[in-house]
Amino acid sequence: MKTYDIVTFGDLCVDLIMTGGDIVPRFGQVEQLVDSYSLEMGGSCSIFACQAAKLGLRVGILGCVGDDNFGELVIRRLEECGVDTGYVRVDPTLKTGLGLALCKDGDRAILTYPGTLSALTPADVTDEFLASARHLHYGSFFLHTGLKPQAPEIVQRARDLGLSVSLDTNWDPDEAWNSTLQAVLPRVNVFLPNEQEARFISRRDSLSAAAVRLREQGVGLVAVKRGAAGAEVFAPEGHYVRNIAPADPGGDGIGAGDSFDAGFLAAWLRDMDVARSLEIACRCGRSVAGRIGGLEGQPTWDEVTQKFDRQV
Ligand SMILES: Nc1ncnc2c1ncn2[C@@H]1O[C@H](COP(=O)(O)OP(=O)(O)OP(=O)(O)O)[C@@H](O)[C@H]1O
Ligand SMILES: [Mg+2]
């Protein structure tokens, strides 16, 4: 019996989200007033971990925070959501990562101080940690700069220890879409890019050509997120398309992709079929897309199955 269903590498940080008003900064010591702000735990993998735990999975997260108030906030939020923080260490030499997001008209600009967000090194990823779980979810591939050089070895080690592996690279800030990623792909059971990422990584122009290429490279199953247009899965069993009703207005879309990932895996790891896993994933993504921040709209397993089934 493993301790965890899923382990993940935490890009631990907080997001300070400012919205509305005179939001575009002007230098020259100008002071401007904005309408509102929220301060919340950020990080794609942290948001993923919280959604997975709310869906009833036993989740462990590896990462570090600074010895500061933001670090305390991150640990408190993870624990409130049911994520085990036993593998989160407090590093007094680092500051907790911070994203400052300025949001207007459905768009956002983000200034990021990485700090603890990218502090993990391959030595942190012990066999003991990996062997404690059934499944490894590797998120924020390009932001975990310390892990990247050894990523193929880490993923291979996970597979050798009997784990299945999922990957969500998210955006590549260098826009090179390479590094060691190409060597990781053949070892991945479930790949969860959005449409743009899938096309850039596979170097193909269309979604279907991208999926074919990724599967040729050895990826087991490709689940592609398409925002308000829903999502598609390309699997050995076939091609599945899921359209979805628009999310509630007023959301900022933050974390929709991460909650989609957790929804898909929560069903997939319960041996549900691809169509059902895709449906649950889309419900999680849509629910979060309609709220502010990545945590607010995250449903529980009961909500995403029974309650939603009654509504449909
Ligand atoms: N506006 C929306 N209306 C309905 N559903 C949505 C909306 N936005 C996202 N979703 C749902 O959430 C899923 C994931 O969202 P999206 O495609 O934005 O992922 P992403 O680009 O990986 O996002 P992230 O910014 O979190 O990395 C979609 O496939 C869809 O099911
Ligand atoms: Mg994403």
Question: SS in 3 state form for 88-123?
Answer: EEEECCCCCEEEEEEEECCEEEEEEECHHHHCCCHH
The answer to whether residue 172 sits within a structural domain is yes
| For the chain, percent of residues with pLDDT exceeding 90 | 88
Q: Domain range for residue 208?
A: 4-12+44-73+81-87+118-311
Whole-prediction pTM: 0.95
User: Contact 18/102 with Cβ under 8 angstroms?
Assistant: yes
pLDDT given for residue 150 in this prediction: 97
Ligand 1 centroid to Cα of residue 289, in Å, is: 6
pLDDT given for residue 248 in this prediction: 87
pLDDT given for residue 107 in this prediction: 78
The answer to whether residue 192 sits within a structural domain is yes
Q: Is 253 in the pocket of ligand 1 (CB under 6 A)?
A: yes
User: Contact 186/151 with Cβ under 8 angstroms?
Assistant: no
pLDDT given for residue 104 in this prediction: 84
Distances (CA, A) of 57 to 78, 156, 202: 14, 23, 31
Any idea what the CATH number is for the domain that residue 225 is in? Answer: 3.40.1190.20
| For the chain, percent of residues with pLDDT exceeding 70 | 98
The answer to whether residue 37 sits within a structural domain is no
* Interstrand relation of 97-104 and 164-168 (parallel, antiparallel or unpaired): unpaired
The answer to whether residue 157 sits within a structural domain is yes
pLDDT given for residue 253 in this prediction: 76
The answer to whether residue 29 sits within a structural domain is no
CA-255 nearest atom, ligand 1: 26
The answer to whether residue 38 sits within a structural domain is no
The rounded distance, in Å, linking the Cα atoms of 42 and 59 is: 17
- Domain total for the chain? 1
Q: Is the pLDDT of residue 87 over 50?
A: yes
Q: Is 144 in the pocket of ligand 1 (CB under 6 A)?
A: no
